[in-house]
Amino acid sequence: MEFAELIKTPQADNVMLHRQFHLAVEGTLCLTGHHLIFSSRQQNNTEELWLLHSNIDSIERRFAGSSGIIVIKCKDLRIIQLDIPGMEESTNIANSIEVLSTLDSVTLMYPFFYRPMFEVLDDGWSLFLLEQEFELLSSVTNEWRLSYVNKEFSVCPSYPPVVIVPNSIDDDALRRVALFRQGGRFPVLSYYHKKNGMVMMRSSQPLTGTNGRRCKEDEKLVNATLCSGRRGFVIDTRSLAVAQQARAKGGGFEQEVHYPQWRRIHKYIERFNILQESFIKLVEACNDQANNMDRWLSKLEASNWLTHIKELLTTACLAAQCIDREGASVLVHGSEGTDSTLQVTSLAQIILDPRCRTIRGFEALIVREWLQAGHPFQLRCAQSAYSSSKPKWEAPVFLLFLECVWQIHRQFPCSFEFNEQFLIMLFEHAYASQFGTFLGNNENERAKLKLPEKTLSLWSWVNRPEELIRFQNPLYEANSLVIWPSVAPQSLQLWEGVFLRWNRPSRFLEEAEEERVNIIRYNKELQARVNVLRRHLAELEAEGVEQEEP
């Protein structure tokens, strides 16, 4: 298929662009296979706006006189309006945008066409290998091993080819456990807490069904992670009622009789369409320009978004507390183990592991706990909050996770190497990107699409020093401690950086950030200069002493 066939009117002049907090500008609109490009050339102010078609969540069109008005709502929550002269032109453009922003085939997506303007030094596709992670692990314990049982993706289609499992469990046993867990997602290691050797594992629900099926290998695998006499917690991200209902459909939960060393805690975390609805409601509230405080607060409350944030953070803190304070190991699962499970395991690591609060460590966490762990990005992020179609698999699971990280970041602003912009950037790229990183739903699909050969990795770009500098937190000082966030409602705030990003004048906040950067930079410069002088002085003094002494 040629994109040109879909673009009847590739260019329109005298188009007006309207955005919040910007004066309307006139310019030329161009459509290409992957971009909507608006460029204005005014006396001293040339401006170009490039919008990926895949970033467009929905468009609305209407006519005013002889010109068409197109309102474009993006997945990054921005809203722009284009006034295009000429009925035919505007209809053509709107049609093209509609088609181009909803292409079905993954291989037509921009990452397959994008050619970087920079040289790739550090290929992001091979930056985070589980083998490296395991090397670190094996330097402190030998209770774990790498298993390639899923090399062909035959045991668990949503798992990566290599996983970390207890040393004492062989691949045959793993195959049998996989049959006992939904989607084949047998328990694997998620995190090892060096301080006390406790671990966090994740899986999907066991398929106990109504008649209480058992699986000896599963019991053995789960227990293998506990030293004798130790106990563990199963954190089930469903309510007890939901877990019980799941039995009717063949699912279920670990019966304490069969897992006597384990205690089950049910902590309900909202999922799927309810999350998506909450997201839509919140964004709607944030776009409500009404000058009414009561309405704003009641809409914010009615969206329930912050409730989900609080519940998720609480569960993650609980998991971290079990490990660090109770000295117990933890197994986390919900039903499929691809959504709320990953939210909990990754957030708990942010709390526990200082490494995850560095840029590289956070990237590794995303790769390990989200991409390789098989969070279905493509399904979840197909549509954002403006989509008019009924959500099928869409849910802001990853965004919710990012916001929780932001909440912790806000409470510990000096403990993270990255800044808020880094989190916002990840949100954007999960929904629309020139990079292949978030394409596909799991490693299996990514391998089939040959993403590493055909597309560029987000990390190849982000980790270039030129880019990285935008994402560094100037206040960062490594903090080796566990950081316990407060989950009280008073401590949680709306993530303005995402939800009010296009709705608030950002200049003043950007200026503040600039000031912070400058204060720190000037300090470092001075430090360097003082050190040079000190050394210089010391050398001169030494010379002086030598001269005097003989």
Partner 1 sequence: VENVRLLDRLSSRRAVVGTLYLTATHVIFVENGSETRKETWVLHSQISSIEKQATTATGCPLLIRCKNFQVIQLVIPQERDCHDVYISLIRLARPVKYEELYCFSFNPKLDKEEREQGWKLVDLNEEYNRMGVPNNYWQISDVNRDYGVCDSYPTEVYVPKSATAHIIVGSSKFRSRRRFPALSYYCKGNNASICRSSQPLSGFSARCLEDEQMLQAIRKANPGSDFIYVVDTRPKLNAMANRAAGKGYENEDNYSNIKFQFIGIENIHVMRNSLQKMLEVCELKSPSMSDFLWGLENSGWLKHIKAIMDAGIFIAKAVAEEGVSVLVHCSDGWDRTAQVCSVASLLLDPYYRTMKGFMVLIEKDWVSFGHKFNHRYGNLDGDPKEISPVIDQFIECVWQLMEQFPCAFEFNERFLIHIQHHIYSCQFGNFLCNSQKERRELKIKERTYSLWAHLWKNRADYLNPLYRSDHSQSQGTLYPQIAPCNFLYKFWSGMYNRFEKGLHPRQSVTDYLMAVKEETQQLEEELEVLQERLANLQKSQSGINKVKSKQQDRSKQSGLYASNNSLANTPQEYSNDLKSFPSRSPSQGDEDSALILTQDNLKSSDPDLSANSDQESGVEDLSCRSPSGGGCLPSEDSGKDSDEAVFLAG
Site for partner 1 in 253-312 (CB under 8 A): 263, 265, 267, 285-294, 296-298, 300-301, 304, 306-307, 309-310
Judged by CB, which is closer to partner 1: 1, or 293?
293
The C-alpha atoms of residue 85 and residue 210 are separated, in whole angstroms, by 65
Name which position in 231, 258, 355, 360 contacts partner 1 (CB under 8 A): 231
Q: Does 488 bind partner 1 (CB under 8 A)?
A: yes
Residues 410-429 that bind partner 1 (CB under 8 A): 410-415
Tokens of 441: 């739903």
For the residues of 313-345, what is the DSSP string, one character each? HHHHHHHHHHHHTS--EEEEE-SSSSSHHHHHH
Contact 318, 347 (CB under 8 A): no
Q: Does 325 bind partner 1 (CB under 8 A)?
A: yes
Stretch that binds partner 1, among 87-95, 101-109, 317-325, 444-452 (CB under 8 A): 317-325
Judged by CB, which is closer to partner 1: 28, or 307?
307
User: CA end-to-end span of the chain, whole Å?
Assistant: 87
Name which position in 328, 342, 352, 400 contacts partner 1 (CB under 8 A): 328
For the residues of 291-308, what is the DSSP string, one character each? --HHHHHHHHHHH-HHHH
Residues 505-534 that bind partner 1 (CB under 8 A): 505, 508-509, 511-512, 515-516, 519-520, 522-523, 526-527, 529-531, 533-534
Judged by CB, which is closer to partner 1: 112, or 412?
412
Question: From the CB of 96, what's the least distance to partner 1, in Å?
Answer: 32
Q: Does 545 bind partner 1 (CB under 8 A)?
A: yes
Q: Does 481 bind partner 1 (CB under 8 A)?
A: yes
The C-alpha atoms of residue 255 and residue 233 are separated, in whole angstroms, by 12
Residue with tokens 């999922």: 271
Question: From the CB of 98, what's the least distance to partner 1, in Å?
Answer: 28
* Size of interface with partner 1, in residues (CB under 8 A): 90
The C-alpha atoms of residue 217 and residue 334 are separated, in whole angstroms, by 20
Question: From the CB of 445, what's the least distance to partner 1, in Å?
Answer: 36
- Environment class of residue 184 by beta-carbon count within 10 Å: exposed (0-12), middle (13-18) or buried (19+)? buried
Q: Does 501 bind partner 1 (CB under 8 A)?
A: no
Q: Does 544 bind partner 1 (CB under 8 A)?
A: yes
Helices (H), ranges, 72-152: 87-100, 130-138
Exposure pattern of 170-183 as b/e (b: 16+ CB <10 Å)?
eeebbbebbebbbb
For the residues of 475-542, what is the DSSP string, one character each? T-----S------SGGG----HHHHSTTTS--HHHHHHHHHHHHHHHHHHHHHHHHHHHHHHHHHHHH
Q: Does 479 bind partner 1 (CB under 8 A)?
A: yes
Question: From the CB of 123, what's the least distance to partner 1, in Å?
Answer: 31
Question: From the CB of 544, what's the least distance to partner 1, in Å?
Answer: 4
Name which position in 317, 344, 348, 371 contacts partner 1 (CB under 8 A): 317
User: By C-alpha distance, which of 432, 422, 497, 427 is closest to 462?
Assistant: 422
Question: From the CB of 195, what's the least distance to partner 1, in Å?
Answer: 12
Residues 458-477 that bind partner 1 (CB under 8 A): 475, 477
The C-alpha atoms of residue 412 and residue 400 are separated, in whole angstroms, by 18
Coil, helix or strand at residue 283: helix
Per-residue binding string, partner 1, 334-373, x by CB under 8 A, is ----------------------------------------
Q: Does 503 bind partner 1 (CB under 8 A)?
A: yes
Question: From the CB of 540, what's the least distance to partner 1, in Å?
Answer: 5
Give the neighbor-by-neighbor strand order of the sheet with 35-42.
45-52, 35-42, 25-31, 11-18, 79-85, 67-74, 56-64
Residues 381-410 that bind partner 1 (CB under 8 A): 410
Stretch that binds partner 1, among 40-48, 112-120, 216-224, 538-546 (CB under 8 A): 538-546
Contact 204, 185 (CB under 8 A): yes
